[in-house]
Homo-oligomer: A and B are copies of this chain.
Amino acid sequence: MSNPLIMKLEYGTRLNDKDRAVLQQLTRRTRRIVRHADISSEGERPENVHLVMEGFACRYKILAGGRRQIVAFLVPGDFCDLHVAILGKMDHSIGTGWGCTIVDIPRSTIEDLTAQQPRITRALWWATLVDEGTLREWLVNMGQREADRQMAHLICELLVRLRVVGMVSDNSFEFPITQADLADALGITSVHANRVLQDLRTQGLVEWKNKRLRIPNEEQLVEFAEFDPNYLHLDRRDDAEDPDLGTL
């Protein structure tokens, strides 16, 4: 079955059939978000936790001057705000300029899960920590790489993450976002983003039209971007240690 949450978490921890059934149950009731509607906003204290099932969403912050920084793209299988159960308020907003399908999960459900399902709890922990690792990598990307490498790096990341949840075919994926959005994620101007993109295009590193992005030669793009996917921690470690995960 093509449940993105399960597909993703299987990379973090071994799940058994019961775990899968629980997760499947969790993601039964989906809801469509219309274009340009935010899922939750800075300062709010949402009652539900949200999970992306189809399409893209993003985390972002708006500054006083109106500038926007996107701090994460959320793809199918990603939680939007798992943290809100512990931190009181949202310290950023979740938006979707492109429409997507999500699941609402009551906070209490998450709390029950963490109380009763150690394997699932650990998997959620894992997902949170991968998010954190991704954030670190974005910071490195922004601080140390020039815009062209940076853009290439982001594309590599998306390719890997989307492949995990089965959204990649023919080295290409749906990419409904706008060049201006991409610019806001990279911390550059949309004009500059456009120029950099054309660079990548003429180098034959990416093709992007009709809201679909294709990577003709992944190896080449990975090399150009110096992309190393280790920070995504996709190597499920079912090694000897913690064979049956005692606690946590």
A130 in complex: contacting residue of B87, B89, B130, B246, CB < 8 Å: B87
**Are A129 and B87 within 8 A (Cβ)?**
yes
Segment of A14-22, A97-105, A139-147 in the binding face? A139-147
**Are B144 and A135 within 8 A (Cβ)?**
no
Copies of this chain, complex-wide, total 2
Residue A92 interfacial (CB < 8 Å): yes
Residue A91 interfacial (CB < 8 Å): yes
Q: What string of 1s and 0s marks CB contacts (under 8 Å) between A58-80 and chain B?
A: 01010110011101100000000
**Are A91 and B143 within 8 A (Cβ)?**
no
- Which range holds the interface residue count of chain A? 35 or more
Residue A175 interfacial (CB < 8 Å): no
CA distance A142 to B247 in the complex (A): 38
**Are A63 and B140 within 8 A (Cβ)?**
yes
Across the interface, which residues of B come within 8 angstroms of A187, CB to CB? 139, 142-144
